């Protein structure tokens, strides 16, 4: 082969390689990796708390792999169903489907394959109860929550159920009985989501309305109504977040830390309520993203100290 031929081969091959990398990145974007990481973090927390100090690294790894596949499938199927509404919103118009970088058929196949494989993998390597919970989470997110976004703002409650199940999946994977400890974790995750997502919905309310998504009580809610709802949910979350110290998951140190964190989250919700603005909405979103990991890490650390 001549030098000219070699150059021609390299020139032709380079775009193919770039295209393959681009498609790989698009598929990675389908999985919503930042959300997936938060899901896996809560799974790991639930696993550790549910194992009561007798955790098996191999079982945790299998659970994380299977749940990661289910999360990836859920996100892909969500974007498949919302490809038309995503195209109408500036913040989502450049996603792989509305931009045309991926085709609906391949995304649908990827979502079904990833979700189904994840459930089968969990059943084979972890246990059947965790697989059943994973399948329930997948169905709630894709079959209930996603289509309800076009019909009613109550979709947030349905989505919050799916979003609160990952630590319960972890608990179940550890072989723990789904008792009060698992339900407390579920309650914390369930209530935490409302101020977070209501602030996001308020921030992008015009885009959601243009896309036909019912994320708020009305397309244009009255002033301070959304802020008041955020305050109500953070108030409800505060006593629930203290329950781990009452059911044997944590001690007095966690109780004090959870009180301080809850008060901070509540303060940000009150600021948003008193002055609904982009600045206070973003402040509440950032506070929610700080609150949950800190709370769960403190809970895990305090639980570890109790087991020593």
pLDDT in tens, 198-251: 999 999 998 988 888 888 877 677 778 999 999 999 999 999 999 999 999 999
What distance in Å separates the CA atoms of residue 137 and residue 143, rounded to the nearest whole number? 10
Q: What was the pLDDT predicted at 121?
A: 98
Residue 103 has pLDDT above 50, yes or no: yes
98-109: average pLDDT: 95
What distance in Å separates the CA atoms of residue 157 and residue 57, rounded to the nearest whole number? 33
Residue 54 has pLDDT above 90, yes or no: no
For the chain, give the mean pLDDT.
Answer: 90
Token pair, residue 35, equals 């959300």
What distance in Å separates the CA atoms of residue 79 and residue 31, rounded to the nearest whole number? 9
Q: What was the pLDDT predicted at 14?
A: 36
1-19: average pLDDT: 40
Percent of the chain predicted with pLDDT > 90: 78
Which pTM was predicted? 0.89
Q: Contact at 8 Å (CB) between 62 and 121? A: yes
SS3 118: helix
Nearest to 70 by CA among 145, 154, 169: 169
Residue 131 has pLDDT above 70, yes or no: yes
Backbone angles phi, psi at 154, to 5 degrees: -65, -10
Degrees to nearest 5, angle at CA 110 with 107 and 112: 110
Nearest to 30 by CA among 88, 93, 131, 111: 111
Q: What was the pLDDT predicted at 210?
A: 87
Most confident among 8-12, 97-101, 116-120 (mean pLDDT) = 116-120
Q: What was the pLDDT predicted at 117?
A: 98
pLDDT in tens, 240-291: 999 999 999 999 999 999 999 999 999 999 999 999 999 999 999 999 999 9
Residue 177 has pLDDT above 90, yes or no: no
Q: Contact at 8 Å (CB) between 226 and 202? A: yes
Q: Contact at 8 Å (CB) between 206 and 274? A: no
Buried b (16+ CB within 10 A) or exposed e, 21-39: eeeeebbebbbbeeebebb
Range of weakest confidence among 14-18, 66-70, 198-202, 262-266: 14-18
pLDDT in tens, 182-196: 999 999 999 999 999
Contacts of 168 (CB under 8 A, 6+ apart): 46, 133, 178, 182, 185, 186
Residue 9 has pLDDT above 70, yes or no: no
Percent of the chain predicted with pLDDT > 70: 94
């Amino acid at each position: 082969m001549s030098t000219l031929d070699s150059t021609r081969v390299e020139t032709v091959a380079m775009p193919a390689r770039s295209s393959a990398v681009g498609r790989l990145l698009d598929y990675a974007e389908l999985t919503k990796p930042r959300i997936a990481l938060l899901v896996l973090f809560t799974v790991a927390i639930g696993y550790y708390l549910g194992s009561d100090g007798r955790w098996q690294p191999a079982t945790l790894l299998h659970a994380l792999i299977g749940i990661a596949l289910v999360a990836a499938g859920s996100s892909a199927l969500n974007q498949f169903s919302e490809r038309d509404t995503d195209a109408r919103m500036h913040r989502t118009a450049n996603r792989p489907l509305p931009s045309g970088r991926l085709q609906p058929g391949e995304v649908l196949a990827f979502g079904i394959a990833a979700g189904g494989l994840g459930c089968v993998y969990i059943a084979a390597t972890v246990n059947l109860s965790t697989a059943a919970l994973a399948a329930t989470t997948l169905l709630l997110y894709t079959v209930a929550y996603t289509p309800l976004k076009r019909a009613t703002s109550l979709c947030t409650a349905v989505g919050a159920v799916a979003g609160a199940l990952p630590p319960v999946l972890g608990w179940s994977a550890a072989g723990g009985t789904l008792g009060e400890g698992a339900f407390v974790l579920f309650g914390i995750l369930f209530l935490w989501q409302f101020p977070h997502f209501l602030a996001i919905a308020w921030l992008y309310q015009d885009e959601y309305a243009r896309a036909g998504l019912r994320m708020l009580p009305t397309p244009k809610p009255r002033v301070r109504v959304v802020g008041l709802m955020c305050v109500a949910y953070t108030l409800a979350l505060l006593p629930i977040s203290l329950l781990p110290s009452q059911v044997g998951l944590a001690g007095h140190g966690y109780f004090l830390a959870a009180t301080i964190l809850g008060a901070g989250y509540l303060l940000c919700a009150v600021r948003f309520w008193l002055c609904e603005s982009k600045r206070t909405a973003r402040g509440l979103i950032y506070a929610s993203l700080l609150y949950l990991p800190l709370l769960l890490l403190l809970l895990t650390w305090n639980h570890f100290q109790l087991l020593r």
